[in-house]
A and B are shown apart, each in its own frame.
Chain A
Amino acid sequence: MRGYQEVAFRSAYLITGDASEAEEATQEAFVKAYRALGRFRSGARFRPWLLAIVANEARNQRRAATRRAGLFLRVAREDTPENSPSSPEAAVLAAERREELLEALRGLREEARWAIACRYFLGLSEEETAAILGCARGTVKSRLSRAMKGLRAEIAKEGDAG
Protein backbone atom coordinates (compact mmCIF):
# COMPACT_ATOMS: atom_id res chain seq x y z
CA MET A 1 0.00 0.00 0.00
CA ARG A 2 3.08 2.16 0.00
CA GLY A 3 2.11 3.57 -3.37
CA TYR A 4 -1.03 5.07 -1.86
CA GLN A 5 0.68 6.74 1.08
CA GLU A 6 0.90 10.19 -0.39
CA VAL A 7 -2.64 10.55 -1.62
CA ALA A 8 -3.93 8.97 1.60
CA PHE A 9 -1.88 11.24 3.83
CA ARG A 10 -2.73 14.38 1.88
CA SER A 11 -6.41 13.51 1.91
CA ALA A 12 -6.24 13.08 5.66
CA TYR A 13 -4.33 16.34 5.96
CA LEU A 14 -6.99 18.24 4.01
CA ILE A 15 -9.59 16.96 6.45
CA THR A 16 -7.71 17.29 9.74
CA GLY A 17 -5.64 20.35 8.91
CA ASP A 18 -2.87 19.00 11.10
CA ALA A 19 0.11 16.89 10.05
CA SER A 20 0.35 14.70 13.14
CA GLU A 21 -3.39 14.05 13.21
CA ALA A 22 -3.25 13.22 9.52
CA GLU A 23 -0.38 10.81 10.14
CA GLU A 24 -2.21 9.13 12.98
CA ALA A 25 -5.39 8.85 10.95
CA THR A 26 -3.58 7.45 7.91
CA GLN A 27 -1.63 4.92 9.95
CA GLU A 28 -4.76 3.74 11.72
CA ALA A 29 -6.54 3.53 8.38
CA PHE A 30 -3.71 1.43 6.92
CA VAL A 31 -3.84 -0.93 9.89
CA LYS A 32 -7.58 -1.33 9.41
CA ALA A 33 -7.16 -1.73 5.67
CA TYR A 34 -4.50 -4.43 6.11
CA ARG A 35 -6.80 -6.28 8.48
CA ALA A 36 -9.78 -5.90 6.16
CA LEU A 37 -7.96 -6.87 2.97
CA GLY A 38 -9.63 -10.26 3.10
CA ARG A 39 -13.00 -8.58 2.87
CA PHE A 40 -12.06 -6.34 -0.03
CA ARG A 41 -14.26 -7.24 -2.96
CA SER A 42 -12.24 -8.39 -5.91
CA GLY A 43 -13.08 -6.30 -8.91
CA ALA A 44 -13.70 -3.18 -6.81
CA ARG A 45 -11.27 -0.29 -7.07
CA PHE A 46 -8.76 -0.34 -4.29
CA ARG A 47 -7.94 3.36 -4.03
CA PRO A 48 -11.47 4.61 -3.35
CA TRP A 49 -11.92 1.80 -0.83
CA LEU A 50 -8.73 2.80 0.98
CA LEU A 51 -9.51 6.53 0.81
CA ALA A 52 -12.93 5.93 2.35
CA ILE A 53 -11.22 4.29 5.35
CA VAL A 54 -8.65 7.10 5.53
CA ALA A 55 -11.33 9.83 5.38
CA ASN A 56 -13.35 8.12 8.06
CA GLU A 57 -10.35 7.98 10.40
CA ALA A 58 -9.45 11.57 9.56
CA ARG A 59 -12.97 12.77 10.34
CA ASN A 60 -12.80 10.94 13.67
CA GLN A 61 -9.54 12.71 14.43
CA ARG A 62 -11.05 15.98 13.33
CA ARG A 63 -14.04 15.54 15.63
CA ALA A 64 -11.77 14.65 18.53
CA ALA A 65 -9.67 17.77 18.01
CA THR A 66 -10.77 20.71 20.12
CA ARG A 67 -9.23 23.43 18.00
CA ARG A 68 -11.03 24.96 15.10
CA ALA A 69 -9.70 24.02 11.71
CA GLY A 70 -8.26 27.23 10.42
CA LEU A 71 -6.68 27.78 7.06
CA PHE A 72 -3.81 25.41 7.06
CA LEU A 73 -2.96 25.34 3.39
CA ARG A 74 0.02 27.33 2.28
CA VAL A 75 1.53 27.91 -1.10
CA ALA A 76 4.94 26.30 -1.27
CA ARG A 77 6.92 27.80 -4.12
CA GLU A 78 5.86 30.30 -6.67
CA ASP A 79 8.96 30.39 -8.75
CA THR A 80 8.92 27.00 -10.43
CA PRO A 81 9.66 27.47 -14.12
CA GLU A 82 6.28 26.19 -15.31
CA ASN A 83 4.46 28.61 -13.06
CA SER A 84 6.85 31.48 -13.34
CA PRO A 85 5.05 34.66 -14.42
CA SER A 86 6.57 36.67 -17.21
CA SER A 87 7.33 39.75 -15.10
CA PRO A 88 7.71 40.77 -11.45
CA GLU A 89 4.38 42.60 -11.65
CA ALA A 90 2.69 39.47 -12.98
CA ALA A 91 4.28 37.45 -10.15
CA VAL A 92 2.82 39.82 -7.56
CA LEU A 93 -0.61 39.68 -9.19
CA ALA A 94 -0.50 35.86 -9.36
CA ALA A 95 0.46 35.65 -5.69
CA GLU A 96 -2.35 38.04 -4.75
CA ARG A 97 -4.81 35.99 -6.75
CA ARG A 98 -3.75 32.80 -4.99
CA GLU A 99 -4.15 34.49 -1.62
CA GLU A 100 -7.58 35.64 -2.71
CA LEU A 101 -8.57 32.09 -3.61
CA LEU A 102 -7.27 30.70 -0.35
CA GLU A 103 -9.14 33.37 1.55
CA ALA A 104 -12.33 32.52 -0.34
CA LEU A 105 -11.83 28.81 0.44
CA ARG A 106 -11.43 29.76 4.07
CA GLY A 107 -14.92 31.17 4.05
CA LEU A 108 -16.51 27.92 2.86
CA ARG A 109 -18.03 25.18 4.98
CA GLU A 110 -15.72 22.22 5.54
CA GLU A 111 -17.58 19.84 3.26
CA ALA A 112 -17.49 22.33 0.41
CA ARG A 113 -13.80 22.92 0.93
CA TRP A 114 -13.09 19.18 0.98
CA ALA A 115 -15.04 18.69 -2.25
CA ILE A 116 -13.01 21.35 -4.05
CA ALA A 117 -9.73 20.13 -2.58
CA CYS A 118 -10.42 16.52 -3.58
CA ARG A 119 -11.22 17.38 -7.14
CA TYR A 120 -8.82 20.20 -7.90
CA PHE A 121 -5.98 19.94 -5.40
CA LEU A 122 -5.61 16.16 -5.24
CA GLY A 123 -7.06 15.48 -8.67
CA LEU A 124 -9.23 12.65 -7.37
CA SER A 125 -11.87 10.98 -9.48
CA GLU A 126 -15.56 11.35 -8.74
CA GLU A 127 -15.59 7.91 -7.18
CA GLU A 128 -12.64 8.77 -4.94
CA THR A 129 -14.12 12.14 -4.05
CA ALA A 130 -17.35 10.38 -3.08
CA ALA A 131 -15.32 8.03 -0.89
CA ILE A 132 -13.68 10.94 0.89
CA LEU A 133 -16.93 12.88 1.31
CA GLY A 134 -18.80 9.78 2.38
CA CYS A 135 -21.55 10.34 -0.15
CA ALA A 136 -22.94 8.53 -3.19
CA ARG A 137 -20.98 8.97 -6.35
CA GLY A 138 -24.02 10.47 -8.06
CA THR A 139 -24.14 13.37 -5.64
CA VAL A 140 -20.52 14.45 -6.09
CA LYS A 141 -21.33 16.64 -9.09
CA SER A 142 -24.10 18.50 -7.32
CA ARG A 143 -22.01 18.95 -4.16
CA LEU A 144 -19.11 20.24 -6.17
CA SER A 145 -21.38 22.56 -8.10
CA ARG A 146 -22.71 24.03 -4.85
CA ALA A 147 -19.17 24.33 -3.50
CA MET A 148 -18.04 26.24 -6.60
CA LYS A 149 -21.05 28.52 -6.35
CA GLY A 150 -20.14 29.22 -2.74
CA LEU A 151 -16.55 29.88 -3.72
CA ARG A 152 -17.55 32.40 -6.37
CA ALA A 153 -19.76 34.12 -3.83
CA GLU A 154 -16.84 34.34 -1.42
CA ILE A 155 -14.60 35.78 -4.12
CA ALA A 156 -17.25 38.35 -5.01
CA LYS A 157 -17.58 39.26 -1.31
CA GLU A 158 -13.82 39.82 -1.12
CA GLY A 159 -13.99 41.91 -4.29
CA ASP A 160 -16.72 44.09 -2.81
CA ALA A 161 -14.80 44.49 0.44
CA GLY A 162 -11.58 45.32 -1.42
Chain B
Amino acid sequence: MQDRELERELRELGSLIDYPPTPNVARAARNVLDEAANEQSRRLRRAFPTMRWAAVAAAFVLVVAVPTLSPGLRATVSDWFVAEDFQSTGVDAGSPERQSEAGAPAAGVSKSATTPAQAPQFSGERISVREAQARMEGTLILPRTPELEKPEEIYTVGTASKEGVMLVYKYGLPPLGDSGIHLVLTEVPGDLEPAYLTGRTTAGSKFDRVSVDGNPGYWRSAGNRLPGQTLLWEQGGVALRLEANVKKEQAIRIAESAR
Protein backbone atom coordinates (compact mmCIF):
# COMPACT_ATOMS: atom_id res chain seq x y z
CA MET B 1 0.00 0.00 0.00
CA GLN B 2 1.19 3.48 -0.79
CA ASP B 3 2.10 5.68 2.15
CA ARG B 4 -0.11 8.50 0.92
CA GLU B 5 -3.15 6.28 0.80
CA LEU B 6 -2.44 4.98 4.29
CA GLU B 7 -1.95 8.54 5.57
CA ARG B 8 -5.29 9.56 4.07
CA GLU B 9 -7.01 6.62 5.75
CA LEU B 10 -5.41 7.48 9.07
CA ARG B 11 -6.53 11.10 8.81
CA GLU B 12 -10.06 9.97 8.04
CA LEU B 13 -9.98 7.54 10.94
CA GLY B 14 -8.68 10.34 13.17
CA SER B 15 -11.62 12.55 12.23
CA LEU B 16 -14.02 9.84 13.40
CA ILE B 17 -12.43 9.08 16.75
CA ASP B 18 -14.85 9.32 19.64
CA TYR B 19 -12.99 11.44 22.20
CA PRO B 20 -14.44 12.05 25.65
CA PRO B 21 -15.85 15.57 26.01
CA THR B 22 -13.16 18.13 26.78
CA PRO B 23 -13.46 19.31 30.40
CA ASN B 24 -12.93 22.95 31.31
CA VAL B 25 -9.44 22.37 32.64
CA ALA B 26 -8.44 26.01 32.20
CA ARG B 27 -11.07 27.10 34.70
CA ALA B 28 -10.23 24.23 37.05
CA ALA B 29 -6.58 25.24 36.91
CA ARG B 30 -7.48 28.85 37.69
CA ASN B 31 -9.50 27.66 40.68
CA VAL B 32 -6.53 25.67 41.94
CA LEU B 33 -4.31 28.72 41.60
CA ASP B 34 -6.86 31.03 43.24
CA GLU B 35 -7.24 28.65 46.14
CA ALA B 36 -3.47 28.43 46.52
CA ALA B 37 -3.23 32.23 46.47
CA ASN B 38 -5.98 32.52 49.09
CA GLU B 39 -4.27 29.98 51.30
CA GLN B 40 -1.01 31.84 51.00
CA SER B 41 -2.77 35.06 51.87
CA ARG B 42 -4.40 33.43 54.92
CA ARG B 43 -1.03 32.14 56.07
CA LEU B 44 0.50 35.57 55.64
CA ARG B 45 -2.30 37.17 57.62
CA ARG B 46 -1.83 34.65 60.40
CA ALA B 47 1.90 35.25 60.39
CA PHE B 48 1.67 39.03 60.05
CA PRO B 49 -1.65 40.34 61.37
CA THR B 50 -0.63 43.86 60.48
CA MET B 51 -0.73 42.87 56.84
CA ARG B 52 -4.46 43.27 57.08
CA TRP B 53 -3.92 46.92 57.83
CA ALA B 54 -1.58 47.16 54.91
CA ALA B 55 -4.44 45.87 52.76
CA VAL B 56 -6.73 48.41 54.35
CA ALA B 57 -4.21 51.13 53.59
CA ALA B 58 -4.07 50.00 49.96
CA ALA B 59 -7.86 50.06 49.77
CA PHE B 60 -7.76 53.48 51.37
CA VAL B 61 -5.77 54.82 48.45
CA LEU B 62 -8.28 53.38 46.01
CA VAL B 63 -11.29 54.69 47.83
CA VAL B 64 -9.86 58.15 48.16
CA ALA B 65 -8.95 58.12 44.49
CA VAL B 66 -12.40 57.12 43.32
CA PRO B 67 -14.32 60.30 44.17
CA THR B 68 -11.89 62.41 42.20
CA LEU B 69 -12.43 60.19 39.21
CA SER B 70 -16.14 59.72 39.07
CA PRO B 71 -19.05 61.35 40.88
CA GLY B 72 -21.11 58.26 40.07
CA LEU B 73 -18.67 56.00 41.80
CA ARG B 74 -18.49 58.38 44.68
CA ALA B 75 -22.17 57.85 45.24
CA THR B 76 -21.58 54.14 45.57
CA VAL B 77 -18.78 54.30 48.09
CA SER B 78 -19.79 57.26 50.17
CA ASP B 79 -23.09 55.68 50.99
CA TRP B 80 -24.90 55.63 54.26
CA PHE B 81 -22.11 54.41 56.42
CA VAL B 82 -19.91 57.32 55.91
CA ALA B 83 -21.54 60.66 55.45
CA GLU B 84 -21.81 62.77 58.51
CA ASP B 85 -25.33 64.06 58.27
CA PHE B 86 -28.66 62.53 57.71
CA GLN B 87 -29.27 64.72 54.68
CA SER B 88 -27.04 62.53 52.62
CA THR B 89 -27.65 59.30 54.43
CA GLY B 90 -31.35 58.98 54.04
CA VAL B 91 -32.67 61.09 56.89
CA ASP B 92 -34.09 64.58 56.56
CA ALA B 93 -34.61 67.21 59.18
CA GLY B 94 -38.01 66.55 60.60
CA SER B 95 -41.34 68.06 59.71
CA PRO B 96 -44.66 67.18 61.32
CA GLU B 97 -46.32 66.32 58.00
CA ARG B 98 -43.68 63.89 57.05
CA GLN B 99 -43.66 62.34 60.49
CA SER B 100 -47.36 61.77 60.15
CA GLU B 101 -46.90 60.20 56.71
CA ALA B 102 -44.34 57.85 58.10
CA GLY B 103 -46.99 56.52 60.39
CA ALA B 104 -44.80 56.38 63.44
CA PRO B 105 -46.18 54.50 66.43
CA ALA B 106 -47.94 56.42 69.16
CA ALA B 107 -44.93 56.69 71.42
CA GLY B 108 -42.79 58.00 68.58
CA VAL B 109 -45.40 60.50 67.53
CA SER B 110 -45.83 61.62 71.07
CA LYS B 111 -42.13 62.02 71.51
CA SER B 112 -41.66 63.83 68.26
CA ALA B 113 -44.70 65.95 68.91
CA THR B 114 -43.01 67.29 72.00
CA THR B 115 -39.71 67.84 70.24
CA PRO B 116 -40.54 68.21 66.56
CA ALA B 117 -37.44 70.20 65.74
CA GLN B 118 -35.12 67.45 66.93
CA ALA B 119 -36.97 64.48 65.54
CA PRO B 120 -35.16 63.20 62.47
CA GLN B 121 -37.14 62.16 59.47
CA PHE B 122 -36.17 59.35 57.17
CA SER B 123 -36.32 60.11 53.51
CA GLY B 124 -36.38 56.49 52.46
CA GLU B 125 -39.60 54.67 51.84
CA ARG B 126 -41.24 53.19 54.90
CA ILE B 127 -41.49 49.43 54.45
CA SER B 128 -42.63 46.40 56.43
CA VAL B 129 -40.40 43.71 57.92
CA ARG B 130 -41.49 41.38 55.15
CA GLU B 131 -40.56 43.93 52.49
CA ALA B 132 -37.24 44.54 54.21
CA GLN B 133 -36.60 40.82 54.24
CA ALA B 134 -37.31 40.66 50.52
CA ARG B 135 -35.16 43.72 49.84
CA MET B 136 -32.24 42.08 51.63
CA GLU B 137 -32.91 38.84 49.76
CA GLY B 138 -33.67 36.97 52.94
CA THR B 139 -30.63 38.18 54.89
CA LEU B 140 -32.28 40.82 57.05
CA ILE B 141 -30.30 40.85 60.28
CA LEU B 142 -31.98 41.69 63.59
CA PRO B 143 -30.44 42.14 67.07
CA ARG B 144 -31.61 39.47 69.52
CA THR B 145 -30.86 41.08 72.87
CA PRO B 146 -33.55 41.28 75.59
CA GLU B 147 -33.57 45.09 75.63
CA LEU B 148 -34.46 45.36 71.95
CA GLU B 149 -37.64 43.84 70.66
CA LYS B 150 -38.43 44.63 67.07
CA PRO B 151 -37.80 47.76 65.04
CA GLU B 152 -40.60 50.29 65.23
CA GLU B 153 -39.90 51.56 61.75
CA ILE B 154 -38.00 50.34 58.72
CA TYR B 155 -36.93 52.51 55.80
CA THR B 156 -35.24 51.86 52.54
CA VAL B 157 -31.83 53.30 51.95
CA GLY B 158 -30.04 53.11 48.68
CA THR B 159 -28.48 54.52 45.59
CA ALA B 160 -28.65 53.36 42.03
CA SER B 161 -26.02 50.74 42.67
CA LYS B 162 -26.70 49.67 46.24
CA GLU B 163 -29.66 49.27 48.42
CA GLY B 164 -30.28 48.41 51.99
CA VAL B 165 -32.53 49.01 54.91
CA MET B 166 -32.52 51.18 58.02
CA LEU B 167 -34.13 49.79 61.15
CA VAL B 168 -35.27 52.32 63.72
CA TYR B 169 -35.74 51.29 67.36
CA LYS B 170 -37.55 53.58 69.75
CA TYR B 171 -37.38 51.60 72.95
CA GLY B 172 -34.96 49.66 75.06
CA LEU B 173 -31.85 51.84 75.19
CA PRO B 174 -30.96 55.35 76.29
CA PRO B 175 -32.42 57.68 73.68
CA LEU B 176 -30.22 59.44 71.18
CA GLY B 177 -30.66 62.95 72.48
CA ASP B 178 -34.13 64.29 71.85
CA SER B 179 -34.68 62.36 68.67
CA GLY B 180 -36.99 59.81 70.22
CA ILE B 181 -34.79 57.18 68.64
CA HIS B 182 -32.89 54.63 70.69
CA LEU B 183 -31.03 52.75 68.00
CA VAL B 184 -30.61 52.89 64.25
CA LEU B 185 -29.30 49.85 62.48
CA THR B 186 -28.40 50.26 58.82
CA GLU B 187 -27.77 47.21 56.66
CA VAL B 188 -26.33 47.24 53.18
CA PRO B 189 -25.27 44.20 51.18
CA GLY B 190 -21.55 44.39 50.52
CA ASP B 191 -18.16 44.90 52.05
CA LEU B 192 -17.51 47.02 55.06
CA GLU B 193 -14.01 48.25 54.44
CA PRO B 194 -14.67 50.66 51.58
CA ALA B 195 -17.50 52.18 53.55
CA TYR B 196 -15.43 52.39 56.69
CA LEU B 197 -12.52 53.97 54.92
CA THR B 198 -14.56 56.52 53.11
CA GLY B 199 -16.20 57.37 56.41
CA ARG B 200 -12.83 57.86 57.92
CA THR B 201 -11.76 60.20 55.20
CA THR B 202 -14.93 62.25 55.16
CA ALA B 203 -15.47 62.34 58.87
CA GLY B 204 -11.92 62.85 59.93
CA SER B 205 -12.78 61.14 63.19
CA LYS B 206 -11.10 58.11 64.54
CA PHE B 207 -12.47 54.61 64.48
CA ASP B 208 -11.04 51.99 66.79
CA ARG B 209 -10.69 48.48 65.58
CA VAL B 210 -12.76 46.01 67.58
CA SER B 211 -13.71 42.37 67.28
CA VAL B 212 -17.33 41.44 66.62
CA ASP B 213 -17.75 37.73 67.03
CA GLY B 214 -14.18 37.27 65.88
CA ASN B 215 -14.63 39.47 62.82
CA PRO B 216 -13.18 42.93 62.48
CA GLY B 217 -15.40 45.83 63.43
CA TYR B 218 -14.87 49.55 63.90
CA TRP B 219 -16.01 51.65 66.81
CA ARG B 220 -16.33 55.39 67.06
CA SER B 221 -17.31 56.94 70.37
CA ALA B 222 -17.86 60.39 68.92
CA GLY B 223 -21.37 61.13 67.87
CA ASN B 224 -22.18 63.09 64.79
CA ARG B 225 -25.70 63.89 63.64
CA LEU B 226 -27.10 61.85 66.49
CA PRO B 227 -25.48 62.15 69.89
CA GLY B 228 -24.48 58.54 70.08
CA GLN B 229 -21.78 56.12 69.11
CA THR B 230 -21.22 54.11 66.00
CA LEU B 231 -20.23 50.51 65.48
CA LEU B 232 -19.50 49.14 62.01
CA TRP B 233 -19.11 45.48 61.23
CA GLU B 234 -19.72 42.94 58.57
CA GLN B 235 -21.77 39.81 58.82
CA GLY B 236 -22.53 37.29 56.10
CA GLY B 237 -21.89 39.63 53.20
CA VAL B 238 -23.82 42.50 54.76
CA ALA B 239 -22.17 45.65 56.08
CA LEU B 240 -23.89 46.97 59.19
CA ARG B 241 -23.85 50.23 61.06
CA LEU B 242 -25.23 50.45 64.56
CA GLU B 243 -25.86 53.88 66.08
CA ALA B 244 -26.90 54.08 69.68
CA ASN B 245 -26.14 55.82 72.90
CA VAL B 246 -24.37 52.87 74.49
CA LYS B 247 -20.93 51.84 75.62
CA LYS B 248 -18.66 49.92 73.30
CA GLU B 249 -19.15 46.61 75.13
CA GLN B 250 -22.92 46.86 74.92
CA ALA B 251 -22.81 47.82 71.26
CA ILE B 252 -20.63 44.80 70.51
CA ARG B 253 -22.96 42.59 72.53
CA ILE B 254 -25.93 43.80 70.48
CA ALA B 255 -23.96 43.32 67.27
CA GLU B 256 -22.94 39.82 68.26
CA SER B 257 -26.53 38.90 69.01
CA ALA B 258 -27.66 39.94 65.55
CA ARG B 259 -28.58 37.24 63.07
Q: Which residues of chain A have a CB within 8 Å of any CB of chain B?
A: 1-2, 5-6, 8-10, 13, 19, 22-23, 26-27, 30-31, 33-35, 73-78, 80, 83, 97-98, 101-102, 116-117, 120-123, 148, 151-152, 155
Interface on chain B toward A: helix, strand, loop, or mixed SS?
Answer: helix
The stretch among B28-36, B57-65, B159-167, B251-259 that forms the contact with chain A is: B28-36
* A75 and B18 within 8 A (CB): yes
* B10 and A121 within 8 A (CB): yes
With a CB–CB cut-off of 8 A, which chain B residues contact A8?
25
Alpha-carbon distance A14/B3, docked complex (angstroms): 23
Q: Is B14 an interface residue (CB 8 A)?
A: yes
**Top-4 shortest CB links A-B:** A121-B14, A76-B18, A30-B29, A120-B10
Known: A26-B25, A77-B16, A117-B14. Contact between A31 and B9, CB under 8 A?
Answer: no
* A31 and B26 within 8 A (CB): no
* B25 and A76 within 8 A (CB): no
With a CB–CB cut-off of 8 A, which chain A residues contact B7?
120, 148
With a CB–CB cut-off of 8 A, which chain A residues contact B17?
73-76, 121
* A34 and B33 within 8 A (CB): yes
Task: Give chain B nearest CB distance to A99 CB in angstroms.
Answer: 10
Alpha-carbon distance A7/B62, docked complex (angstroms): 42
With a CB–CB cut-off of 8 A, which chain A residues contact B14?
117, 120-123
Q: Is B71 an interface residue (CB 8 A)?
A: no
Task: Give chain A nearest CB distance to B4 CB in angstroms.
Answer: 11
Alpha-carbon distance A25/B116, docked complex (angstroms): 73
With a CB–CB cut-off of 8 A, which chain B residues contact A19?
20
List 23 interface pairs A-B (beta carbons < 8 Å), by A numbering.
A5-B22, A6-B22, A9-B22, A9-B23, A10-B22, A22-B20, A27-B29, A30-B25, A30-B26, A30-B28, A31-B33, A74-B17, A75-B17, A75-B18, A77-B16, A78-B16, A97-B9, A101-B13, A116-B10, A117-B14, A120-B11, A123-B14, A152-B1
